Structure 1
């Protein structure tokens, strides 16, 4: 019965994604195929079908290799549908019961994303989300420092995200440091490239700020007031790194 239901759901999902089923899928491959479909639906914003795909694996294949990926997918889908309580429950339960060390950084990053979204909601309601941003940073740091996994994808993503959160908090110096660490420790990854662009963008903003000040468009008092109101720090521009130390590797 479980196999029949799984195949039925998969056929329905493949039909929704306008793909043809050309051959029967062996049961041992069903969880992987369902998680793949779930990720595709999630990325396109089709959360209903993403929920269905992840749910089949989450509820029917708890001993499969894809179970944790399905659980994280379920949690993120709950978050996208604004059911934050269920999102956190799944992630917390997963963290407490997970027996696969290599997956721990992914769980930490998912929890960090939960707090990052919470901070965004707090900003809309109260105008402040600093505490949740700091909590998100702490979970990204846990993902990076977790010693029993060499998941460079999750760790490089976490390091990059720390930089983006420090930018949101207005701590430009720490943002630059986080981006630089991404470049140094995760050279060649997607997130290292994004970190390099992050440094370029910061430098450009600082350059424009100095041009405005030099032109007399803003007085020193005005610039200081705007800096205080925006929560950003006035810093000396830093140079974008010309080379990356390729001898350093992720933990």
Structure 2
């Protein structure tokens, strides 16, 4: 059996693994499907379905959509519209995203990233799926009792969490990712796949989902979670916590105040 052994001494044992109602002002309906949040938005004048991902640093317009709209550059600047909010003069990358969106049942026009979201208070509910984007003074009361300090690493918001393989544990900064379909991924600066025949399959869009023995997040212990690896982009970024695990809560990303509020679902 293949294993992922982390350089901090951790190990993962491998295993293969909605009805819409009207939204309020400042809100929009979304879909939580195939483990990611999908929301209607408009980027560079291109309307469509976009993945909402708090752990993607830069907003992306799919290359196919950009070509159809007549854009030939790969770095654009323009408007992003989401949930009644218009963000002006935002940088937008034009990239191929077919690997990321191939498992979704409808065409995806791009990704709304953290660069657009970080100036606002973002509320995400998964069932029913709702997204709200508001300024600090208009966010209203949330009522979540769990509050985690939130910092920034490599253009992503991060919170503290701990992972373990049983006898060994590691505590670090993990990006909560509303657009990631795996409950937990570890940076490959922290973890490795010794002896794996196809190590690429442990990364995003691969088919392997090893099991992580334990994750401690927001005061809750989760065991034997489907997991994987991600490319190391910063030594302070330990990994990401994906939407399948975040869906246990209602979320408020209070980016201006630097905190993540969580309200457990019933």
Same fold (TM over 0.5): no
What TM-score does the superposition give when structure 1 sets the normalisation length?
Answer: 0.25
- Say which one has the larger Rg: 1
What TM-score does the superposition give when structure 2 sets the normalisation length?
Answer: 0.24
Structure with the bigger RCO (C-alpha within 8 Å, sep 6+) is 2
